[in-house]
Amino acid sequence: MNWLDDFMVRAALAGLGVALAAAPLGCFVVWRRMAYFGDATAHAAILGVALALGFNLSIFVGVLAVALTMAVVVSGLSDRGHAMDTLLGVMAHSALAIGLVAVSVLGGVRIDLMSYLFGDILAVGRGDLVVIWGGAGLVLALLWWRWSALLTATLGSDLAYAAGIDPKREQMVLTVALALVIAVAIKVVGALLISSLLIIPAAAARHFAATPERMAMLAMGIGGLSALGGLAVAYRYDTPTGPTIVCVAAAIFATSSVAGLLRGARS
């Protein structure tokens, strides 16, 4: 029997693929305090699902197009001094609500909406694995290529300009990478939980990383452990897999936070 015929093997590979792509990108989300940015883009993914179903397109293409559009719009508005917390709240929840309504009124289309809200990793097929690992590979390659420039731009726009780096270009690189991660992750953890895999592993790694590179590597390890651990717990106790993965990540974050506090107290 081909080992990919086992649905648990496919689920484990899918979780690892998403975790490895999301974790290093999540470091930049944490460093730049862009959690709101990730939430707004992820919530818009449901609208991408609706458009893909309505126009008979690939779900990946629909979600990627809408996520990228939302990310570009949010990034552009953030440079114009708008009240971003209010504006992002309006855009994120409006896109989510419009997507939910659009999915509900699509004629002749049967869809498990919960799988797109909270993920359905156990239903991942071979084609999904190709998309997930292909997207993850693109994200990792993009971050590897622009790593130094992204770090410099993250430290400050003045420093970036002094080094001959355009911070707006680097922001666009992060925007594209974020849209790619959301497009490949929606099948695994769903639109409502994608931001968790971006933020929690990076936040957990922060307590034990002396360099940005080490933080990214630790975040990837924590993300992979969360995916595999959450999958095992969900299988053992018959709980929803996507939320369980996030719960395991949250438990690791809580443990790392306590360990970091204890280490700080001793020093």
Q: Give tens-digit pLDDT for 77-98.
A: 666 655 666 777 777 888 888 8
Give the Cα-Cα-Cα angle 250, 252, 258 (nearest 5 degrees): 105
Structure-block tokens of residue 38: 């990730």
Could you list the beta-strand ranges (E) of 12-90.
none
The conformation of residue 211, written as its DSSP 8-state character, comes to S
Give the Cα-Cα-Cα angle 243, 248, 251 (nearest 5 degrees): 125
Q: Which residue's entry shows tokens 């990919």?
A: 4
CA 92 to chain centre: 15
Q: Which residue's entry shows tokens 């990228």?
A: 68
Identify the H or E element spanning 265. helix 241-266
Render pLDDT for 114-156 as a digit per residue (tens, 0 to 9). 888 888 898 898 889 999 999 999 999 999 999 999 999 998 8
In this structure, are residues 129 and 13 in contact, taking their beta carbons and an 8 Å threshold?
yes
Write down the pLDDT at residue 1.
46
pLDDT interval class at 244 (50, 70, 90): very high
- Considering all CA atoms of the chain, what is the largest pairwise distance in Å, rounded to the nearest integer? 64
Find the mean pLDDT for residues 12-20. Answer: 93
Range 3-191 has CATH code 1.10.3470.10:
yes
Which bin fits 6, alpha (ψ -120 to 50), beta or left (φ > 0)?
beta
Three-class DSSP category at 59: helix
What are the domain boundaries of the chain? 3-191
Find the mean pLDDT for residues 177-186. Answer: 89
Q: What percent of the chain has pLDDT over 90?
A: 41
